[in-house]
Each structure stands twice: as C-alpha cells, then as structure tokens.
Amino acid sequence: MTPRNHARIFRRRQLLLGAAAAALNICAAATVAAQPTPPVVQAGGNTILASDQHQSYALVTSTVADSTAELRGAADGSALQVTDNVLSANARANVAAATWEPDATGSLRSEAATLSTGWSGTSASSGIVIASRQQAQGTAVAGKIGGAGSPSRLGAALTNVSDSSVHMDANTLEAGGTGNEASSALSLTNLSSGLSAGIVNDQSITDASTVKAAQFGDLRISANALSGSSVELSGNSTRALAHGSNAANALTVDAVAVEGVGAGGAPSTVDTGSNEGEVHAQFGVLSNQRLDGTVAAKNAGIALVQIGGAASGSSIVNDANQMAAGSYGNRVDNSLSLNAPTIATDNIGAGTANVTNMQLVNAVAVSARAGQGPRSVVQSDLTGSTASLSENLVTAAATGNQADANRLTVTAASLMSGQSSGGGRPRNSAGDRHSGSY
C-alpha cells in the first residue's frame, strides 16, 4: 500500500473523529472561549483514511508590508531589467490533501458504499473510504499585500535615463485568502472482486466568518527624464483571490471485472432544508460545501510608467499587464471514472457509480473589486517618441457556487444481468445541487 497523505491510515472497522480524538489528523486553533463540539466524522470499512480540521474563532493572516524591490539611480548607456520577481501573501485556515493508490484490492469484498454529510456530521461506510471534514467557525482569514502606511512595490525609481533600456516583465503580486482547501484522490487498479469505494468531503464556513484577499502593491517604473531610451512595463500580473471553500475529489477504478454488491436506499438523496445528503452506490463521491460568512477580494494595485519631465527620442510601452480580483464562495471539482470489461449490478436498486454535489451560500456577500489599472504619464513634452498602452486586462469576478467540472465516466464492454437505478430525489432551493448516477 502506498498512501501519500497528511492524515493517517486506519485498518479497523469503525473510526470516530471528533474534538477528543487527538491522535487523528485534527487541526484546531486556540479559542477565545469554550465552543460547542463540532460535528464529527464517522467512517467504517476495510480500509479507511480520514481527516477532520476545525478552526474556531481564530485569526489567520498573511501580510507583505513595506516590501520594495527597485532599481535606483541614473542610467547612461545601460540595460536594466526587473523580471520574475514575486510578492505573495496567502492565508489558509484549513488545508488537507489525500492521495491513495492501494496496491492489493483483488481479494477484498464489501457491501456498497453509504456516504452521508450535513450539519449533523459526516459518515462513510465502504470497502475503501476517504472521508474528510473541514470547518472554519467564526474565523477571520486574510491575505494582504501593501496598504495604507505600508507600501509595497516592484520596479525602478530612476533619475535621468539616457541611451538606455529599462525592461520590467513577468513579475507577480498575489494576495490570497482561503477558508477550506481539500483534495482527495483514490485510485483502484486491477480490481476483480465485489469491492466498494467512496469519497466524502464536507466543508463549511460558519458563524459570520470572513475570508479576504487584498492586493495594494504597485508595479512601477519612474524616471525624471528620458533621452534616446526605451522603457517597457509588460507581461506582469497582480491578483487578489479569495476562496471560501475549495475542493477536488477524484475516484478512479480500473477493473478486470466489477461484481455487483448489495445496498439499500436511493442512489442519491439531497434535502436542502436540513442540508443533508446521502449516496448509496458501489462507487460514490459525495461533496458538501456551505458558506455562512463573507468572502471578498480587492485589487487596488497599479501598473505605472511615470516620467517626471520630458521624453525625447524614446519609446514608452505599458502593455499586456493583467490585474484581477476573484472571489469564490464554494468551488469544487468532482470526478468518478469506472473502466471495466464487464460490470455486474445487483437487483436492490443502488447505483453502481454516483457523483453527488451540494453547495449552499446562505444569505451572505461574495464580492470582488479591481481598481486603478495601468497608466503611463509624461509630465512634460513628448518629443520624437512613441508611447503604447495596449492589451492590458483588468477583471473582477465574483461567484457564489461553482461546480462546472463534475464528471462521471463509465466504460464497459458488457453489462451483466441485474439492474441499476439513478436519480434519487434532488431538490433545489437556496443552494446548488447536482447528482449523477449510473
């Protein structure tokens, strides 16, 4: 077995994760007062990998302040270059990653997977299980570059520039804030038995938590005067990206043959009123994301070429710079791929393969703002010179729920006797619910 994961692997029939289970992968910040015990993770099966993370009334910040990387002085017959520099401030409350490729699955057998998640907790029962839960409760997460009284910038601050070139490209300023981030990948190969497998992932931002990203840093070339010189600020980027919850779950099964296993219950059931979801399938992926807090991104940086005096016989280029602000409440990518020469199904009604996704933004703000943008300024005369301000991009994008890359792929040469059913009872109200079943 070759697990690669921040959690531990447990080979026992029943696993309970909660506030008291300190031996498991539980991350909790210090609290300002006693808080209710968070919902737990329960998992049962032949082989289990589980993770539970909880931040309670914590402050998680990452700041780049008073950081300046500049070329300074006069330039005469010189070539100056500012390239491939990065200023980055990223704050993340909970981060989990699980990658698992069992190397011996041929002899294992089990009942079908039963996966459930919601406010009451997360549970999974399957032959092989990856179960994870993350919660940020009343927590403030912020990534910030620069700001009032603490300027940060990249570039050049020159006096007189003559017969010289000043080139600034491929520099990056990035501020990021993330409440929950998780990835789970389970890959089964050469499967030839009646074995089930499932991934369940639950993420929540609760109790008026805030997730923010703010980018105030500048990209700047300034000079007192230009003579017979070229100045170029191009191909640079500034970004402010805020994510409430971000997840990627992938289950891949490459089998010699798939034997049907029994299970009760509808393949997929979603109750938006109680925010509970349940999946019954031989192979299943279930994800649930809830946002009850503010997510905001702001990019107020500038890409500036400024000549304090005159420019003669020179070229000024300020092109193809990108300035973006992006804010996402819930974002997920779920996939399940099943490939086998033959697939045998049972007669009970559970699905063979199922992907179900739940997302809820609960009456809160998700916002993004980008300001200023690129500018070129010559304070005095522009004589015998050229100036370009082209192909720059300033964008702001805010998305409540995003799940546009969910995939369910089943490939087989033959389907043996029995039946499979799908559909369940997906209902939709304040959130987005998607399910697919084979």
Query: What digits encode the pLDDT tens for the residues 278-337?
Result: 999 889 999 999 999 999 999 999 999 999 999 999 999 999 999 999 999 999 999 999
pLDDT at 196: 87
Q: φ, ψ for residue 254 (rounded to 5)?
A: -115, 100
410-420: pLDDT as tens digits: 998 887 755 43
Q: Which residue matches tokens 């798939």?
A: 258
pTM: 0.84
Q: Which residue matches tokens 């919601």?
A: 118
pLDDT at 271: 87
Q: Which of 63-67, 120-124, 308-312 has the lowest mean pLDDT?
A: 120-124
Average pLDDT over residues 49-63: 95
109-121: pLDDT as tens digits: 777 888 999 888 8
Specify the DSSP element, H or E, that contains 215. strand 197-215
Q: Alpha-carbon distance 130 to 409, whole Å?
A: 20
Higher per-residue confidence, 193 vs 7: 193
Q: Find out whether 395 and 402 touch, Cβ atoms under 8 Å.
A: no
Average pLDDT over residues 348-361: 84
Structure tokens at 31: 């609290």
pLDDT at 106: 58
81-100: pLDDT as tens digits: 999 999 999 999 999 999 98
247-293: pLDDT as tens digits: 999 999 998 778 777 656 788 889 877 889 999 988 999 999 999 99
pLDDT at 151: 84
The pLDDT > 70 percentage for the chain reads: 83
Q: Comparing C-alpha atoms, which of 50, 21, 25, 202 is closest to residue 126?
A: 50
pLDDT at 435: 54
The SS3 call for residue 362 is coil
